[in-house]
Amino acid sequence: MGFWSQQKILVTGSGGFLGSHMLEALAHRGCAEIITPRKKECDLTDPASVYQLVESHEPTLILHLAAICGGIGANQKEPGRYFFENAVMGLHLLEAARRSGVAKVVTIGTICAYPKFTPVPFHEDDLWAGYPEETNAPYGLAKKMLLVQSQAYRQQYGSNFVYLLPVNLYGPRDNFDLESSHVIPALIRKMETARLTHAPEVVLWGTGTASREFFFAGDCAEGIALAAEHYNSPEPVNLGSGYEITIRDLAEKIQAMIGYEGKIIWDSTKPDGQQRRQLDTSRAEQSFGFRAKVGLDAGLETTIAWYRKNYPQNSGQ
């Protein structure tokens, strides 16, 4: 508590999915001064707005969670936007932090930064061993530049900028818009809608053979908080649960939890994305004592319950 009581914390993306869980983690730690700018107050793609934000508030710690992100379909639809906005937000914020002498910045990268054919489990040392999977490479490379910038600024200016790589997030307050959502919220909404409308089948993208590791957002916020307090090194750090599951098995698990009794149809004309994703999370545990606590079944049950409570008007549409 001593560390946190001394901080004036700026959280970008505080109004988003991960940001909401981050604010809960900070409140639990008794943080009194938290700056939570929204886009209407500060456009992070505009350098003047960013510099004014940092200079006027003088934070001691910045948690850069803001991102423009989505599933495979959203990445394919707007690759230019996903590259540009994510890149410039980081560029401007880290430069503003350097100019203002912010003591520490924690930046959040993405699993999409890893090469397409990274050996499983993904280890941080393999981050530069190839080009990312094409369906989300622009997003992944934009976020990867935050690592380059953080390490360059540490080398030249002595900036204490650290970089974390969380795996696929899910949980309450996720994005359930089928045009831009990730796989778990999309599956929950599709299965629940099909159950309520008595649809005979649900059509899902790909073959179902690709695998992913999923990470409860509340756990991720805890990992970020531990890194903010204890980690001060230039090397990137994976954050994840260490559990891998195929999309087919995930879909069947969510189908059973939802209670939908129809048929799943796999549309193999749609992309699977990267074939496997699972992280080596040993560096996080060794460096700042982080280990995920929420198992997939418990996390899914919590997320389904939250969706049913908060989106009853969407469940039957």
Active site residue 153: no
The pair of three-digit structure tokens given for residue 234, joined into one six-digit string:
């230039």
Q: Which of 51, 82, 131, 139 is catalytic?
A: 139
List all residues 6 or more positions away from 43 whose beta carbon is below 8 Å from its beta carbon: 49
CB atoms within 10 A of CB 28: 12
Q: Which residues contact 96 (CB under 8 A, 6 or more apart)?
A: 47, 50, 51, 53, 54, 55
CB 251 within 8 A of CB 187: yes
Return d(Cα 13, Cα 54) in angstroms, integer. Answer: 15
Q: Give the span between the Cα atoms of 130 and 245, in whole angstroms.
A: 24
Residues in CB range of 185: below 8 A, 6 or more apart? 170, 174, 175, 176, 303, 307
Q: How far apart are the first and last CA of the chain?
A: 46
Orientation of helix 217-230 relative to helix 17-28, angle to 10°: 60
Element (H, E) at 40: none
Rounded Cα–Cα distance for residues 146 and 151 (Å): 9
**Among all residues, which ones are annotated catalytic?**
139
